[in-house]
Amino acid sequence: MIADVPAILGAINSVMSMVKGIVSSTRDIKLKTLLIKVYDQLFMDKTCIDKMADEIKTLENKLDTINNWENEKDDYELIPLGAGNFAYRRRKEPDGGIEHDIHFCSNCFENKIKTVLNFTQFGRELIISCPKCNAKYKIMANRQ
């Protein structure tokens, strides 16, 4: 459908050119007046089609972003950190992966943002926090 827009705009331009040619060659005032209204309407239709095509393109880009996230999201798993807290990490690949050991904030992840959790405090329990949303996650000391 969006691929047809240039052809539709081209057709409208052709009709506008024909209308313009008739307007400049006719001496019939009523016909000229009518054709100028037709020309103006075609111009408004063309502008409207242009705007709709832009909006469709914007929506297609948003849909691509959503679909890309859905695909990328499948590469991650939600894992328990302990004390009822969870974080995302990349699923382990057969060849192993560096990113597997990196934990991402589950709160940010649900908003389609991958934010690496940072260690902020050591004690009996390890506490890591999200630098973006300030969520804090306790990790039990005996966690594997």
Residues near Zn ion, by CB under 5 A: 105, 107-108, 115, 130, 132-133, 135
Q: In this complex, which beta carbon is closest to Zn ion, that of residue 19 or of residue 106? A: 106
Min dist. Cβ of residue 67 to Zn ion (A): 23
Q: In this complex, which beta carbon is closest to Zn ion, that of residue 85 or of residue 107? A: 107
Q: In this complex, which beta carbon is closest to Zn ion, that of residue 42 or of residue 116? A: 116
Please, what is the angle between helix 5-25 and helix 29-73, to 10°?
A: 170
Helix segments in the chain, DSSP class H: 5-25, 29-73, 106-109
Min dist. Cβ of residue 115 to Zn ion (A): 5
**Phi, psi of 82, rounded to the nearest 5 degrees:** 110, 160
Min dist. Cβ of residue 128 to Zn ion (A): 11
Q: Are 104 and 74 in contact (CB under 8 A)?
A: no
